[in-house]
Structure 1
Amino acid sequence: MPPIEEVDLLVLGSGEAGKYLAWTLASQGQRCVVIERRFIGGSCPNIACLPSKNVIHSAKVASLFRRGAEFGLPASTQPVDMAAVRDRKRRMVDGLIEMHEQKFVASGAELVMGSGKFVAPRTIEVELHAGGTRTILGKRVVISTGSRARLDETPGLRESQPLTHIEALELDHVPTQLIILGGGYIGLEFAQAFRRIGSEVTIIERNATVIHREDDDVTTAVTELLQDEGIEVLANTSVERVSGTSGAEVSIEASSNGATSTVTGTHLLVAGGRTPNTDGIGLELAGVELEPHGHVRVDERLQTTAEGVYAVGDCAGSPHFTHVAFDDFRVLRDNLAGGNRVTTGRQVPFCLFTDPELARVGLTEREAREQGIAYRLAKLPMVAVLRTRTLSETRGFIKALIEPEGQGDRILGITAFGSDAGELLPPVQVAMSAGLPYTALRDAIFTHPTMGEGLGGLFSAVH
């Protein structure tokens, strides 16, 4: 049996929070080891955020080519070369992996490729991909194993070998008829992208609307977008059984309001949520307890039930965003240095990368009503933001919730559905974080013509 190695920091999984903590502490002279089973840098640069946005942009370019006549150019009806789309994505991923490898070398953190599991408190045994094993004891241990696409127990679903986002991003051909299970963020992004690339697309959503937790005007606007793109949406529909094989022919037995129907396609993509990667890694031997849905149980400082062991990112139940995982890193970094940062009450921005985008931060109208919070509402159609007219992208709106008159002028939340909507959030977030009144944005001089100029118009509409 090889000797047990001792290190200052041991990280299981090289995702956002874990890698940044290792790079930071290693650059300060601590011995840090990161164990990674497959994807150097975690899901974001390899199989999730960045690769999906790469393919989404290719789909947007394809859409613009078809709109060529609108811009004084010949419209293109040529089919999309999906292998070229995939290869462009792969080149980006290769560059990101190289960047991560360089950061490990520069920081002094050691990257160990292999499968790790706990064998004792703060002790992980690694089956090395190169052969052999290592057993490593960390003074501090961070679990950063992320999450994966969830497959439910619908009869025939697993047997149909459905696509998840991982396999969908590796397709070298355009699916003829793509069925997507789930009308959340992932499902909608892929639905529009593949429709623009050339697939017939059907979304099956069990709830009454897609992205059903959003405000009614948002779900209505997004549903209209999907319809205009030629995407079929079967809402309030449950999947009873799946037969066939994705990639050849697949059939869905569905029910809606007591009626049954059959949906057929060539490919099936599952986008019905995420499940944490916490099974099979020996957490019970480390004294680490789990929540009922499989997330690592942590407190507001990301401390697990085991002394000296922390969990970050998706596996810890943090909102499933890379930007939140990065903030988990900052919380843990500062606390290990003697600080007292917590994860509760932090600002979490959201962005759906359809075209146009849906972005929001703070309270929605639905949340304000549910919590009994009074507010003033300002709303502006995107067509009033003159930049959208130069782009021929006038769909959507911006709205903001403001404290009631006499109670203050702080911004409670903002939602934007329109071209480059995600770029509108940062200045509003800064104002919200600083407790500035909405008038600070209303009275600012924004460059004309930009999307940000719309904030002035929006906050001028506050009564």
Structure 2
Amino acid sequence: MTVENYENVVIGSGEGGKYLAWHLSQSGQQVAVIERRWIGGSCPNVNCLPSKNEIWSAKVAYLSQHASTFGVAPTKPPSDMEAVQERKRRMVQGLIATNLEHYKSSSTELVMGEAKFVGPKTLAVQLNDGGTRTLKAERIFLNLGTHASIPPVPGLAEARPLTNIELLQLDRIPEHLIVLGGGYVGLEFAQAFRRFGSRVTILHRGSQLLTNQDADIAGSLLETLLKEEIEVIAVSETLRVAGTSGSSVTLRVKTDAGETTVAGSDILVATGRAPNTTSIGLEIAGVQLTEQGYVKVDDRLQTTAAGIWAIGECAGSPQFTHISYDDFRVIRDNLAGIDRTTAGRLVPSCLFTDPPVSQIGLTEEEARRRGIPVRVTKLPMAAVLRTRTLDESHGFMKALLEVGGDCILGFSMIGPEAGEVMAIVQVAMLAGLPYTTLRDATFTHPTMAEGLVFLFSEVEPRR
């Protein structure tokens, strides 16, 4: 067995891993990246970007069907999912090509295969095109990612349900899509495929969609979904499943009103994700896991094994591409002797429904749970004149302020361009600016950002 020695090996080519690899290579170090399948990670291939690509196609379909609202003759042809898929594939192919160019220009070696620890800092790689290689590195970075988990419901796995990966490959419109889960993935796809022409039913275990959001945000989004004739069955437990997804399925469901049967053509499972930390031999490397199966790390993303770090979702970091990128920066800076940690970082999020939902910092519910007193200010989107020009005035924006000062502790919004507006508030929070800075700013009229002036003008002066 020939052992190849490297300075650095990154397992997984997701966001944080690939940027770290390219950075180290450009710094003159020897780096190999081992990737099983998705060049560039799941985000450009089967998650963030392709899903938002299809969501925008669904938005266009929706606008074409409601064009009379804008004084334009409406059209209601069935959505051409083959054309939707082709548009998405062109984008994905372009993203893969861009990633490959970065590997080439940075002189980073990309090894396509599956890695497994066979000794401390030693990996056996089963190559995709046949054969094996054994790599040993001074430093190893785990960028393993997560996968959609299938709940242990009798008959569910046998029904061969869709996950986000398979749904994004569909070139047909499901007659009746049953979505298990009322979180980010489930809600985005539920609305998109309803707009493409599917009947859609959402089955959610909890009493509230978007469990981590405030009830008023979740309630406002629910209003939108119901208006678009999406059926939502909350506080539901799927007891058993029969049939085959893609043909015909029936689900026996327990609700507060008793048991009922839900029948459809396809099932999408969007009930959560599990880390890709099994069957890789982490115990051989001395890498410990948490009870939930994530890699145990400190606030500098170092594992329990010397010379091994973890990045992104497998390390239990919030499951967002932008957080994986920030994990890269934490590791990069610490390797350079700059003290940087994950502790206390602001984590922005955006749900890309229509209207989108954004949030950063504290929610009202979290403030209550932690016993943090706050002042709350709220503004309906109809008060932001830009929404009148778009005929999209549903929703509101809300901010939480400290009681003993004027710092912004949290911000939430459901409304057009929610993610972009949130970014402005995020910068103010990072800079420690008082809310009065945004209240007194001069924003362009008419824009969504202008609404921040009126939101913070509603704040009563601090006593």
Question: 1:400-431 CA distances to partner (integer Å, 9 max, x unpaired)?
Answer: 00111xx2100000001001111111111111
Written as runs of structure 1 = structure 2, the 5 A alignment for 1:385-400 is 385-400=384-399
Distance 2:46 2:129 in 1: 23
Question: 1:114-145 CA distances to partner (integer Å, 9 max, x unpaired)?
Answer: 11111111111111112211111111100001
Q: Give the structure 2 partner of residue 417 of structure 1.
A: 414
Q: Give the structure 1 partner of residue 3 of structure 2.
A: 4
Written as runs of structure 1 = structure 2, the 5 A alignment for 1:170-209 is 170-209=169-208
Question: 1:157-180 CA distances to partner (integer Å, 9 max, x unpaired)?
Answer: 100000000000000000000000
Question: 1:217-272 CA distances to partner (integer Å, 9 max, x unpaired)?
Answer: 11111111110010000000100000100000001000012611000000000000
The amino acid that maps onto 1:304 is T
SS at match of 2:400: strand
Q: Give the structure 2 partner of residue 296 of structure 1.
A: 295
Q: Give the structure 2 partner of residue 285 of structure 1.
A: 284
Written as runs of structure 1 = structure 2, the 5 A alignment for 1:6-155 is 6-155=5-154
Distance 1:136 1:89 in 2: 36
Q: Give the structure 1 partner of residue 401 of structure 2.
A: 402
Q: 1:438 aligns with which of 425, 435, 440?
A: 435
Q: 2:208 touches 2:215 (CA, 8 Å); kept in 1?
A: no
Residues 258 and 231 (structure 1), Cα distance of their counterparts in 2 relative to 1, 3 Å cut:
closer
SS at match of 1:415: strand
SS at match of 2:16: helix
Q: Give structure 1 regions of 4+ aligned residues with deviation exceeding 2 angstroms.
A: none
Distance 2:218 2:448 in 1: 22
The amino acid that maps onto 2:135 is I
Distance 2:426 2:121 in 1: 38
Number of residues paired by the alignment?
Answer: 460
Q: CA deviation at 1:213?
A: 2.6
Question: 1:27-47 CA distances to partner (integer Å, 9 max, x unpaired)?
Answer: 011000000000001010000
Q: Give the structure 2 partner of residue 227 of structure 1.
A: 226
Residues 363 and 159 (structure 1), Cα distance of their counterparts in 2 relative to 1, 3 Å cut:
same
Distance 1:257 1:395 in 2: 30
Distance 1:340 1:134 in 2: 35
SS at match of 2:406: coil
In the superposition, the TM-score normalised over structure 1's length comes to: 0.98
The amino acid that maps onto 1:307 is A
Q: 1:457 aligns with which of 444, 448, 454?
A: 454
The amino acid that maps onto 1:441 is L
Distance 1:345 1:354 in 2: 28
Q: Give the structure 1 partner of residue 356 of structure 2.
A: 357
Question: 1:324-370 CA distances to partner (integer Å, 9 max, x unpaired)?
Answer: 00000000000011122111110000111000000010000001111
Written as runs of structure 1 = structure 2, the 5 A alignment for 1:158-177 is 158-177=157-176
Distance 1:286 1:213 in 2: 35
Distance 1:208 1:287 in 2: 41
Distance 1:427 1:64 in 2: 28
Query: Which runs of 5 or more structure 1 residues have no equivalent in the other structure?
Result: none
Distance 1:52 1:351 in 2: 13
SS at match of 1:52: helix
The amino acid that maps onto 1:411 is I
Percentage identity across paired residues of the two chains: 56
Distance 1:248 1:398 in 2: 42
Q: 2:13 touches 2:143 (CA, 8 Å); kept in 1?
A: yes
SS at match of 1:324: helix
Query: Please, which moves more after superposition, 247-256 or 118-127?
Result: 118-127
SS at match of 1:339: coil
Distance 2:256 2:234 in 1: 10
Q: Give the structure 2 partner of residue 344 of structure 1.
A: 343
Give yes or no for the alignment of 1:247 onto 2:242: no
Q: 2:399 touches 2:410 (CA, 8 Å); kept in 1?
A: yes
Distance 1:137 1:258 in 2: 59
SS at match of 2:451: helix
Calculate the aligned-residue CA RMSD, in Å.
Answer: 0.7
Distance 2:451 2:256 in 1: 42
Distance 1:408 1:6 in 2: 56
Q: CA deviation at 1:212?
A: 2.4
SS at match of 2:100: helix
Q: 1:448 aligns with which of 416, 421, 445?
A: 445
Residues 258 and 392 (structure 1), Cα distance of their counterparts in 2 relative to 1, 3 Å cut:
closer
Distance 1:294 1:273 in 2: 14
Distance 2:358 2:373 in 1: 22
Distance 1:117 1:35 in 2: 10
Query: Which runs of 5 or more structure 2 residues have no equivalent in the other structure?
Result: none
Q: Give the structure 2 partner of residue 426 of structure 1.
A: 423
In the superposition, the TM-score normalised over structure 2's length comes to: 0.98
Distance 2:422 2:257 in 1: 42
Q: CA deviation at 1:74?
A: 1.0
The amino acid that maps onto 2:420 is E
Distance 1:455 1:179 in 2: 38
Question: 1:184-243 CA distances to partner (integer Å, 9 max, x unpaired)?
Answer: 111000000000000000000011121123211111111111100100000001000001
Distance 2:100 2:141 in 1: 20
Q: Give the structure 1 partner of residue 260 of structure 2.
A: 261
Distance 1:287 1:433 in 2: 37
Question: 1:375-397 CA distances to partner (integer Å, 9 max, x unpaired)?
Answer: 11111000111111111110100
Distance 1:281 1:45 in 2: 24
Give yes or no for the alignment of 1:311 onto 2:297: no
Q: Give the structure 1 partner of residue 210 of structure 2.
A: 211
